[in-house]
């Protein structure tokens, strides 16, 4: 038996139950991991509340991201062995002392990356990688708008976009968060609860607007985000912390400047093993070089997952949150 946090009925943070669960031995192509640190992500709240249906139905163990050591391997697994340090993002099963995952979804961790860093960055950092390098290729001279710039994905996006030579504008919910975003690469910050962020972006850029908007906030920043884009700019809607964007008429993209809009997820960008490995390597390199730092600002005991969700949804957190088994 191992300790885990399960949801039997979807709802608020209180539906998460800390309990003992049975874990079988890993099957063919699978590995069992003893987790040393577990990532907390906004997407975990979508599954917990039922906004996203859990693939295997109820009950389910919340969470997807973690890092630890391999403690058992199933038949047919040749490139991993007991004792290897690995990190992974696999839907469900994350908030647990131990978990079983397909071996081809795990990546070996370089020695210079700690379990805590890995748990704080595999989902958020690989997301930043594909958003900045694949969905829209950010280059020197681009102007980038990052919503929720002091959040987990936000802080990584700001640092990495700056490292790539972009001018970074970040929206944030408080003055403290604005300060943090500035320390992490944002050239300009906007308090989007108090200010009209689209008007402010127009001001900051002298009317030139942005090449790309990275929007993980969703409902409350749409359609304002489209007004921050120059003609042919790219609207990247990658999350819905404030709720999902309502259905809209696609013609709005024409009138606002022949814009591009996409709603990407890491699942698709990292579906092939070779892409997963390449994205992870890019992330390990940029963190290993010190160009991007992973700010693990909150560490909670696994049994306190409820508190972690309350803080995250209460907009009380910055950077990455982890659970310690
Ligand atoms: N598509 C993908 O592949 C992918 C992968 C990973 C994450 N994501 C998405 O990326 C986004 C960020 O994830 P994260 O785990 O790093 O979370 P996070 O940014 O650390 O936390 C969410 C932040 O959103 C802001 N926010 C704005 N309106 C909010 C509201 N009504 N309720 C709560 N928060 C609100 C808050 O910052 P302020 O107080 O500064 O406004 C809050 O801190 C999420 O939307 C997540 O779903 C997408």
Q: What is the mean pLDDT of residues 28-42?
A: 98
Of the pLDDT bands very low, low, confident and very high (cuts 50, 70, 90), residue 312 is very high
Distance from the alpha carbon of residue 309 to the mean position of ligand 1, in angstroms: 12
Distance (Å, whole) CA 140 – CA 199 = 24
Asked if 70 and 83 count as a contact pair (C-beta separation under 8 A), the reply is: yes
Distance (Å, whole) CA 100 – CA 269 = 22
| Phi, psi for residue 65 in degrees, rounded to 5 | -115, 135
pLDDT tens digits along 74-95: 999 999 999 999 999 999 999 9
Mutate to test the pocket of ligand 1, among 170, 239, 313, 318 (most ligand atoms within 8 A of CB): 239
Q: Whose CA is nearest to atom 19 of ligand 1?
A: 151
Name the token pair of 82: 């007991």
Q: Whose CA is nearest to atom 7 of ligand 1?
A: 124
Query: Is this model's pTM higher than 0.85 or not?
Result: yes
Q: What is the mean pLDDT of residues 33-37?
A: 98
Asked if 269 and 130 count as a contact pair (C-beta separation under 8 A), the reply is: yes
pLDDT tens digits along 95-130: 999 999 999 999 999 999 999 999 999 999 999 999
Q: Which residues line ligand 1 (CB under 6 A)?
A: 41-43, 123-124, 127, 148, 150-154, 172-173, 177, 216-217, 220, 238-242, 264-266, 312-313, 315, 317
Q: Whose CA is nearest to atom 38 of ligand 1?
A: 173
Cα dist. 161→65, 210, 214, 217, 311 in Å? 23, 13, 11, 18, 27
């Amino acid at each position: 038996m191992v300790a885990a946090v399960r949801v039997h009925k979807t709802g608020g943070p209180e539906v998460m139950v800390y309990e003992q669960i049975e874990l079988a031995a890993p099957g063919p192509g699978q590995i069992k991991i003893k987790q040393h640190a577990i990532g907390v992500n906004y997407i975990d709240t979508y599954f917990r509340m039922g906004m996203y249906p859990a693939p295997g139905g109820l009950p389910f163990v919340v969470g997807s991201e973690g890092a630890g050591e391999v403690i058992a391997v199933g038949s047919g697994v040749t490139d991993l062995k007991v004792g290897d340090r690995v990190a992974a993002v696999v839907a469900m099963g994350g908030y647990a002392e131990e978990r079983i995952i397909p071996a081809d979804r795990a990546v070996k961790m370089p020695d210079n990356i700690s379990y805590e860093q890995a748990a704080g960055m595999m989902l958020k950092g690989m997301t930043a990688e594909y958003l900045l390098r694949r969905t829209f290729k950010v280059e020197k001279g681009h102007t980038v708008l990052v919503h929720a710039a002091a959040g987990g994905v936000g802080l990584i996006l700001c640092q990495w976009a700056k490292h790539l030579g972009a001018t970074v504008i970040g929206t944030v919910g408080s003055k403290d968060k604005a300060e943090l975003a500035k320390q992490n690469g944002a050239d300009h910050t906007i308090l989007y609860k108090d200010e009209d962020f689209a008007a402010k972006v127009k001001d900051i850029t002298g009317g030139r607007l942005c090449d790309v908007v990275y929007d993980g906030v969703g409902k409350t920043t749409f359609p304002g985000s489209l007004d921050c884009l120059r003609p042919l700019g790219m609207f990247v809607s990658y999350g819905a912390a404030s709720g999902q964007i309502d259905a809209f008429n696609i013609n709005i993209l024409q009138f606002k400047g022949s814009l591009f809009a996409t709603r990407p997820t890491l699942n698709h960008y990292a579906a092939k093993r070779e892409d997963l490995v390449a994205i992870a390597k890019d992330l390990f390199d940029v963190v290993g070089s010190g160009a991007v730092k992973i700010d693990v600002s909150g560490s909670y005991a696994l049994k306190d997952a409820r508190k972690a969700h309350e803080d995250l949804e209460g907009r009380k957190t910055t950077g990455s949150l982890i659970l310690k088994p």
